[in-house]
Structure 1
Amino acid sequence: MGAVITVVGLGSGDPDRLTLGSLKLLQEAQERYVRTKDHPVVAWLEETGVSFTSFDEVYEAKDDFPSVYEEIVERLIAAAKTAPEGKEVLYAVPGHPMVAEATVKRLQERCPVEGIELKITGGESFLDAAFISLGFDPIEGFQLLDASELSGGRLDPRRHTLIGQVYDEFTASDVKLGLMDIYPDDYPVVVGHALGVTGAEQVIRIPLYELDRIQGYGNLSLVYVPASHDEQLRIRSFERLHEIVTILRSPEGCPWDREQTHQSIRKNLIEETYEVLETIDDDDPDHMREELGDLLLQIMLHSQMEEETGMFTAYDVIQELNEKLLYRHPHVFGNLSAEDAEAALKNWDAMKAEEKRRKGIEPEKLSALSGVPRDLPALMKAYKLQKKAAKVGFDWDSIDGVWAKIEEELAEFKEAVTGGHKAEDQTLELGDVLFSIVNAARYIGADPEEALSMTIAKFVRRFTYVEDKLREAGKTPSDSNLAEMDKLWDEAKSLE
């Protein structure tokens, strides 16, 4: 017989609920360990002569729970390997070994690797006592969460929610803040202490904001959040957004939304994008939040149209994005490293190229200019095309070549205009001038689209000043002369 570790559940805390089989195992074992002695059944057993070696001092020595659990597992494995032939190591844990017991989960992973047989004997879980004391049926919808991993994204208000591992007021405070991402401050919650333990059980019903203001938290404490079908509680969830858009596009939904196609709302996607950009330029977080929502709606509508044809859903879009982010950031989610933004970008480009190969595309055979969206604004498109060409060496050695090209193109443009060339030729020459200016922007590390946007904003600001001053004088630009407006323009310029 090889090394054996037997795990026994001590139940929810009431000695009367300890099973006969578990009691026999506890009494007959020669080498007993317990994760913590802070449990009513342990005290009762020791009074009957069943003693334990506890791991309570490990909690004091380590800085976090994962380190505690790893140390306990290491010690149990070492004890099992050095135990006399034919003798098992017994490890007792509160509640049921398979419910919210991290050390048992780690033993399940480690024991097969270490050649140790692992036996698990159940016990009454704290869930059994919670269902009775709190009076709800888990079949209605139920979720069990760990206080240390609580976040708004894991909460579903439609389900009864039990939150375990609420050891103290600090943990309760974290739980409160996590719940407030979804629930209102005065939402009714329940704190349960020592549920199922005769004479020690406490069920305290309070508004959410008082969760960290009550006493008595310990190893036998939990928080219960009753289920609710108030849709307002789901207003922050992506699932609710998906439902709303689905309803809008349904036969019973909005006639306008139902009639739209990809083409009919194509321009909306562009307009909403530019409205987001405007809030960024204005450094206006409140409007940015609103406009980002409008942009997200466009994405949801396009996704919903495809869901209706069976091609893909919004969740497929999210899946593909998540997979792309994970794959293209090997320096974050993999084994590569990136010391700076340039190195991170190289990793991104390398993984992007690898993705193409997996799709049967050979990046080496593609044009150096591929990958630039056809419908980008012309100034932005010129900038991206020039950057791609420069990457493969099609570029001037210095900015001197750029200046010469600007002068050349400007002279040709001037000749086309003053020489009375065809309008089409004049337009083409103007395009050449603009394209050469983009090269200058690239050389100084400026985005020409942003540069022009800044100049436009400056022009609007100064011209508005001119209009305001003329209005104060009872005039408009139409009934004033250029000299007068130029003077006000210079005033606006001096104020910047």
Structure 2
Amino acid sequence: MSAALTVVGLGSGDADQLTVGIIKKMKQAATLYVRTLDHPVLNDLKQEGLEMTSFDAIYEAKASFPEVYDEIANRLIEAARQGESGTEIVYAVPGHPMVAEASVRLLKERCPQMGISLRVMGGESFLDEAFIRLGFDPIEGFQLLDASSLSTELVQPQLHTLIGQVYDVFTASDVKLCLMEVYPDDYPVFVGHALGVKDQEVIHKVPLHDLDRIEGYGNLSLIFVPKNTDDALRRRSFARLHEIVNILRSPGGCPWDQEQTHQSIRKNLIEETYEVIETIDEDDPDHMKEELGDLLLQILLHSQMEEEVGTFNVYDVIEGLHDKLIFRHPHVFGEHQAENANEALQNWEQMKAEEKKRKGLDQQDISVLDGIPRDLPALMKGYKLQKKAAKVGFDWDDVEGVFAKIEEELAELKEAVQNNQSAEEQKLELGDLLFATANVARFIDTDPEEALAATNRKFTGRFRYIEERLRELGRTPADSNVEEMEQFWQEAKKAGL
């Protein structure tokens, strides 16, 4: 048998707020442990003769808070195991044991496994004093966040927000930077030190940008951000974006948006995709940001149309993508290994094949060429078709074989043109030549679509140079001749265009 273990809360810092039961429990304990002596109540209890053992030394010995709490839990469990049956060990923590107390959470997980009786006695938490001293009702909407694990995704402006565990100015600085992703720099926030503790309580109201210029941060500090329902604060929220698209499509929304169907805006999706690609090619981050937003709007619109008929919504889309990314990256989220990009791609393809099996697809009906979108640009599609075929051995041994094929297809195209064959036959021969040319890309590790796009840009730049030079002479390309334009073309080439 072992000693029983009881956890009690020391309250927010004022000894007058302690319950009679908790004081009695601490006085009767065989051994009284406290997480830290840095709590106002303990000074009063020491004056009454209570002897206690603190875990403050562990904070100095360990490199992180999780290690500290793990060590505290282990020591308490060992003390209970070594204790005499029928005795009681008391562990006192600041505030309420069930509010922001990681060591207590660990005890609740481990004590049942070790056969140790665990009891938790409440008491006032810092939340009680925060509601009173900061003057807000949690029923209006409230969230409690931990400064050590704060992220932008957790912050919801429409809720009153208390942020605890703000131990020092460095933590306050991290909190400030996180909040500034959501709130204006001058948004009013409150810093509370030792709320409810006589002669120690301090409350500051400061603009957000001054949050880390306040002195006095410590174990009894918190930050309060009042709720605000202004939609402007939700501009970076995906939920708000989804809400806006829903409004546009709803009765009373935008007549144009209401009339659209998948087919009517199909071309918009394609156009917006190419506009994003253009910003990538131009290395224009500001324009890219705008065009990515336009592309995202198309995804939201198509998802909204399906939400209206009850098939899926954009959050189902996100869920599917989430699961796919986790599943197809076993070298990141699982036990597989990938030392380089090629091994990572192999894992991706293996898991992709596994997905098809799990979906019950008949392997006999699956083609090596499956998975290539029907409406891809022809050059890109030709490249992907040959790439897939090459994976199962349908390929030349080296690039020389491809060059020979190009020469063969070029000769056949010349013959078709010289013999004045039908337009359809000439078109097919041209297609064969382009298809063979695209295959060179695999051997020189270049995307043919990107290669042709680069040439298009080069041609555009040089031809515009020709137009500009002719304009300086008061002429246009229509007033010039090939020889003159070729001269300017060579100038543009020497200029690096």
Identify the TM-score tier after normalising by the shorter chain: over 0.9
- How many angstroms apart in 2 are the aligned matches of 1:103 and 1:362? 52
Cα deviation 1:39-70 (Å, max 9, x = unaligned)? 01112111111121111111111121111111
1:421 equivalent in structure 2: 421
Separation in structure 1 between the aligned mates of residue 70 and residue 129 of structure 2, nearest angstrom: 29
SS across alignment from 2:212? coil
Instruction: Encode CA deviations 1:412-437: one digit per residue, 9 max, x unaligned.
Output: 01100111000000000000000000
Report SS of the residue matched to 1:212.
helix
1:8-29 C-alpha deviation (Å, 9 max, x unpaired)? 1111111001011111110000
Q: How many residues are aligned here?
A: 496
Q: Which runs of 4+ in 1 moved over 3 A?
A: 362-365
| Inter-partner Cα distance in structure 1 for 2:363 and 2:453 | 34
**Is the counterpart of residue 209 in structure 1 residue 193 in structure 2?**
no
Query: C-alpha offsets along residues 358-405 of structure 1, whole Å, 9 cap, x if unaligned?
Result: 111144641111110111000111111111000000001111211111
Report the Cα distance in structure 2 between the residues aligned to 1:72 and 1:8, rounded to whole angstroms. Answer: 15
Q: Which amino acid aligns with 1:423?
A: A
Q: For residue 288 of structure 2, what is the aligned residue in structure 1? A: 288
Counterpart position of 1:467: 467
Percent identity between the two aligned chains: 67
Verify the 8 A CA contact 2:2 2:84 in the aligned structure 1: no
Which segments of 5 or more consecutive residues in structure 2 lack a partner in the other structure?
A: none
1:3–1:115 contact (8 Å) kept in structure 2: no
**Cα distance in structure 1, aligned partners of 2:363 and 2:380:** 23
Q: Distance in 2 between matches of 1:425 and 1:114?
A: 83
Aligned to 1:221: 221
Q: Give the partner amino acid of 1:98.
A: M
Task: Trace 1:7-406 onto structure 2 (pairs within 5 A).
Answer: 7-363=7-363, 365-406=365-406
Greater mean alpha carbon deviation, residues 45-54 or residues 286-295: 45-54
Report the AA paired with residue 211 of structure 2: L
The 3-state SS of whatever aligns with 2:213 is coil
- Rounded Cα–Cα distance in structure 2 between residues aligned with 1:3 and 1:457: 79
Contact 2:32–2:52, Cα closer than 8 Å, also in 1: yes
How many Å apart are 1:87 and its aligned residue?
2.0
Counterpart amino acid of residue 33 in structure 2: Y
1:353–1:363: 8 Å Cα contact kept in structure 2?
A: no
Instruction: Out of 301-310 and 146-155, give the one that drifted further.
Output: 146-155
Q: Distance between the aligned counterparts of 1:36 and 1:116, measured in 2?
A: 23
Give 3-state SS (helix, strand or coil) of 1:198's partner.
coil
Question: Residue 85 of structure 1: CA displacement?
Answer: 2.3
User: More displaced, 166-175 or 48-57?
Assistant: 48-57
* Aligned-partner SS, 2:33: strand
Distance in 2 (CA, whole Å) between partners of 1:117 and 1:349 is 51
Amino acid at match of 2:59: Y
- Distance in 2 (alpha carbons) for counterparts of 1:452 and 1:119: 72
The whole-number CA distance in structure 1 between the counterparts of 2:317 and 2:267 is: 21
Deviations 1:112-140 (A, max 9, x none): 22222221111101000000000000000
TM-score normalised by the chain length of structure 1: 0.98
Q: Tell me the secondary structure at the aligned position of residue 8 of structure 1.
A: strand
| Cα distance in 1 between the residues matched to 2:349 and 2:493 | 44
In structure 1, C-alpha distance between the alignment counterparts of 2:381 and 2:110, rounded to whole Å: 56
Q: TM-score, normalised by structure 2?
A: 0.98
Distance 1:112 1:293, change over 3 A: same
CA distance in 2 between counterparts of 1:400 and 1:114 reads: 71
* Cα distance, 1:86 vs structure 2: 2.2
Residue identity in the other structure for 1:447: D
* Contact 2:129–2:196 (CA under 8 A) maintained in structure 1: yes
